[in-house]
Chain A
Amino acid sequence: MTSVAFLMLCAAALLGVALLAIASARSLAATSIVYGATLVITLAATAASVAALTGYSVTPADLMLPIGLPWIGAHFRLDALAAFFLAVVNVGGAAASLYALGYGEHEDEPHRVLPFFAAFLAGMNFVVLANDAFSYLLSWEFMSLASWALVIAHHREPENRRAGFVYLVMASIGTLALLLAFGLLTGTDGNYTFEAIRAGARTPMTAAIVLALVLIGAGSKAGLVPLHAWLPLAHPAAPSHVSALMSGVMTKVAVYGFIRIVFDLAGALPWWSGALVLAIGGLSAVLGVLQALMQDDTKRLLAYSTIENIGIVFIGLGLALAFRANAMEAAAALAMTAALLHVLNHSLFKSLLFFGAGAVLVTTGERNMDRLGGLIHRMPVTSFLFLVGCTAISALPPLNGFVSEWLTFQAILLSPDLPQWALKVMVPAVGGLLALAAALAGATFVKMFGITFLGRPRSDEAATAQEVDRFSLAAMALLALLCLITGIVPGFFIDAVAPITRMLTGGALPLQASLPWLTIVPAVASGSSYNGLLVFLFIATSAMLAVWTIHRFASHAIRRGPAWDCGFPDASPLTQYSGSSFAQPIRRVFLARTTATHEEVVMPAPGDVRPARFSLVITDPVWTWMYLPFAGAVEFASLQLNHLQFLTIRRYLSLVFFSLVALLLVLAIWS
């Protein structure tokens, strides 16, 4: 059996599990059976896709099924790009299934989650495997609807219903944009296979419109600013293992869609397309992390941080587009590698962090970090694994987040050779934005870990929290281990994506595995290198040395006592810093003169015994700038068009006739 057939079989098996789950969701063992089955299937699919990616026979394999549109059929294909993203999807899926074996037991209404979970996984697999526009869009829509059903799984909370509605609207707009993009790519021939699209010739104008449409279609799913507004509503609304899948994996499927259409199908693009993607990526990175820092809801903070990381991925992709347009293959390959590696890294640590937030949610029932605290004493293993995730996402060596950001910086440093002036001015600015985003991400996760897990408990629920079950811990430990491995031996992963960069940019990084000591070097021309393994060993050795010296020569005496706090410790846990007070200095520095925050202080007059009140409202400015005016315009237009619903037969017929004439005229002028 070819690998593409095997992977199709896995995806079909996931669909079968979904059907089984519908039939048996109300039985007691359903949770274990369904998640166990998805775990086995996704593990098998992971093995197959990793084998396809790293095996030296990366010959693309095709498969044609006689289903779908008549005479066209459904085409599927496994090439290096698809194999990489399938590995990302299925590793995330396997971790989520393992986690849910424990977490899913706490679900009140498993019949609202189980069928859609398996279907969601199947949909993501199908999107990546699809090799014609029709099956691609069908799977894309299937994936969107399955995840929508998961978002409204807990539909009794009005917040989740609102999130579901916004998500549905944004997903429809996104699919419409992709539909139009494919329409422009195929032209009027009606051959929807990707081979035909790849072979077709198109004007730069068409390519530009396609790029804009794909940025809307795939970008809205990935969460690019300003189309991100649904993401921080929808991702936290779903059960936590689904949040992990949506944030860690589904956004990566959207990145796959962008890469597939823009790099593979659309053909050569002008240099300014890179500038456009670069600008959007830089904005997403900084605005996403600034909003993340302001959040007090653990899962919403993670959702905003996803926007930041998607921004970093798109900075890499934009650089790759700009380099490729200028025929700088090695640099384009470096930027592409950085983006792909960040795709993998983000899927690992974001899933880990969502699992941790889910563990806290299960045991305390709280997502608001101002009611948490001190959990490190009650949940030691969860907090350690969560800390690994926090250090990874803050891009601290020797973990994996640092490697992909380091590669992105190295790609930026190659860009003074770009000939266009606009890019010369823009790339350093984007580099500054990326540096700012990296520093703010560190602050965000100090806040998240510090407020949630450290300090004293701020509520009874936090004070009586319990460690979570072993399945959840195993899933988190697995991801934490993968974060460490990707961080200390990134060379193997860079070599694994080399076929992809060769396919899409025409270049590849030098073979890393052959370098001494598992060092990575981004390009032959530059003298820079980084060695995660040695840095890890260095830190470990010097820490051990310090510990040994101290314990050999210094005093061992230790005494427990009350906190010092300059002599005025206050017993109330409310005297600790809260989430919003931690973020206050940065809020004041970066957001003081914007509409994103609104502070109100009510100070009673002297002699008045009422307490002073402080209230803080954080809003996402895109709602007031973009979404509400847009929604108003849509409502106005539909009210006007409402008249068309009450016409006589005669008028309907004439309306149909004139529309037909108008459309035919357009077609005549077009061709």
Chain B
Amino acid sequence: MELISALLVQSMQMLLVLAAAPLLTGFVRKVKARLLRRRGPPVVQPYRDILRLLKKEVVVADNASWIFRVAPYVIFATTWVAAALVPTFATGLLFSWSADLIAIIALLASARFFLALAGMDVGTAFGGIGSSREVMIASLAEPAMLLIVFSMALVARSTQLSAVADLLATSEVGLRVSLGMALLGLIIVAIAENGRVPVDNPATHLELTMVHEAMVLEYSGRHLAMLELAASVKLLLYLSLIGCIFAPWTLAEPDSSTASHIAGFGLYLAKLAVLGFLLAVFETAIAKMRVFRLPDFVGGALMLGLLGTLLLFVSRSL
């Protein structure tokens, strides 16, 4: 019985992630449009886009290999598995012990690895430019993320995400400088990893400034639908991660009542709405950066992570 209910919570979370991800993307787009005094597309537009793409035929370039056709599924699967390991409205996921935060980062790195390969598969200049810039950004964002994970893990004495969330929710950790640094760094990494302004512009096309869009330029139909969905899931993952680490009080305990699960669910949606709103405001308020100014921006996250970890290392004995 216990196993079944745990399994239920786990699969609920996985489906929730999948169902809510396009909604979040649509919500952020809507808020951005309203801030620019446009009416904007309806919030459910991403669902319509995905459904429409699924119905269309796929056009594959003549010299595309099997990598091109397999990559969307691999990218979607790894991103979804990573997202399933992040607690959304309840802690104590059934399989959360099978992979920790380091593994979540590595799963996202796998998705990026295959996306970069898919960008290079057809052999066009745009695909190459996207892939080479993506790995440049990742070469700074990924170590930054790992160092941020280090500082959380040093506080919680575990790299397990549910352990970190439990500890931050229940015990008196208090305000810590290094956790503040970790939060700031995590926000920068989230912006960089999801290709948001100022790192990349998700709404751009036919521009030399694009990164993510350049890699998926050759994709169409159901393949593109998979990639769009994966991108939405990734955005949801990062916002859930920030919510679960820095506002863990709303998470339902594994053995708590159904009512608290429902409350946790509602609060989770509220958290996502707040974070999505803040993201839209930030994106509207800032201009896109030149590519070679990005190292300063993302490198800032790296330095914050290093500083936070260093502080924890040094303060452990005090």
Residues on A facing B (Cβ under 8 Å):
373-374, 376-377, 380, 387, 391, 394-397, 402, 406, 409-410, 412-413, 415-417, 419, 421, 424-425, 427-429, 431-432, 435-436, 438-440, 442-443, 445-447, 449-451, 454-456, 517, 519, 525-531, 534-535, 538-540, 542-543, 546-547, 550, 553-555, 557-566, 569-570, 573, 575-577, 581-586, 588-590
Contact = CB atoms under 8 A, between A and B. Distances in A.
B100 A529 contact: yes
A660 B198 CA distance: 74
A559 B64 CA distance: 12
Contacts of A427: 313
B228 interface: no
Contacts of A527: 157-158, 160, 163
A564 B312 contact: no
Contacts of A425: 310, 313-314
A442 B112 CA distance: 9
Given A446-B135, A577-B132, A555 B221 contact: yes
Contacts of A538: 81, 84, 95, 98
A428 B150 contact: yes
Contact of B103 (A416, A530, A588): A530
Interface in B82-128: 84, 95, 97-100, 102-103, 106-107, 109-110, 112-113, 116-117, 120-128
B302 interface: yes
Contacts of A586: 135-136, 139
B287 to A, nearest CB: 20
B76 to A, nearest CB: 5
Nearest to B315: A416
A427 B313 CA distance: 9
Interface in B217-274: 217-218, 221-222, 225-226
Given A442-B142, A576-B123, A589-B292, 15 more contacts: A394-B113, A406-B106, A424-B317, A429-B306, A435-B142, A436-B139, A442-B139, A450-B116, A450-B131, A530-B100, A538-B84, A553-B54, A562-B61, A575-B124, A582-B128
Contacts of A387: 67
A270 to B, nearest CB: 19
Nearest to B115: A446
B58 A397 contact: no
14 contacts: A374-B63, A374-B123, A376-B67, A424-B316, A432-B302, A442-B139, A445-B113, A527-B163, A528-B100, A555-B57, A558-B60, A561-B60, A563-B122, A564-B59
A443 B135 contact: yes
Contacts of A547: 73
B132 A583 contact: yes
A590 B143 CA distance: 14
B217 A450 contact: no
Contacts of B314: 421, 424-425
Interface residues of B, number: 87
A615 B65 CA distance: 32
Nearest to B230: A546
Given A559-B58, A560-B60, A529 B98 contact: yes
Contacts of B102: 406, 409, 530
A565 B125 contact: yes
A557 B57 contact: yes
Given A406-B102, A563-B123, A588-B292, A439 B117 contact: no
Contacts of A436: 139, 143
Contact of B77 (A445, A456, A539): A539
Contacts of A435: 142-143, 146-147
Nearest to A577: B128
B209 interface: no
Contacts of A377: 63, 65
A395 B146 CA distance: 13
Contacts of B33: none
A413 B155 CA distance: 10
Contact of A442 (B123, B135, B140, B317): B135
Given A424-B314, A582-B132, A450 B120 contact: yes
Contacts of B97: 519, 529, 531
Contacts of A445: 113
A530 B103 CA distance: 8
Contacts of A449: 117
Interface in B263-318: 291-292, 295, 302, 305-306, 309-310, 312-314, 316-317
A539 B73 CA distance: 10
B77 A543 contact: yes
B60 A432 contact: no
Contacts of A396: 106, 109-110, 113
A528 B123 contact: no
Nearest to B205: A566
A236 to B, nearest CB: 24
B80 interface: yes
B43 interface: no
A581 B206 contact: no
Contacts of A429: 306, 310
B138 interface: yes
B307 to A, nearest CB: 9
Contacts of A585: 132-133, 135-136, 291-292
Contacts of B205: 566
A519 B74 CA distance: 23
A402 B76 CA distance: 20
B20 interface: no
A526 B314 CA distance: 19
Contacts of B201: none
For the complex of A and B, the 5 pairs showing the least CB-CB separation, nearest first, are A577-B128, A455-B123, A557-B57, A527-B158, A435-B143
Nearest to B104: A397
A454 B70 CA distance: 14
B120 A454 contact: yes
A534 B160 contact: no
B134 to A, nearest CB: 9
B2 interface: no
B159 A410 contact: yes
B129 interface: yes
A576 B124 contact: yes
Contact of A539 (B62, B81, B109): B81
Contacts of A589: 136, 139-140, 292, 295
Given A450-B131, A529-B97, A559-B60, A546 B103 contact: no
A402 B150 contact: no
B317 to A, nearest CB: 7
A436 B142 CA distance: 8
Contacts of A529: 97-98, 100, 160
B60 A565 contact: no
A446 B134 CA distance: 11
Contacts of B222: 550, 554-555
Contact of B123 (A447, A454, A581): A454
Contact of A413 (B54, B60, B116, B153): B153
A396 B159 CA distance: 17
Contacts of B98: 517, 519, 529-531, 534-535, 538
B117 to A, nearest CB: 6
Contacts of B56: 555, 557
A456 B78 contact: no
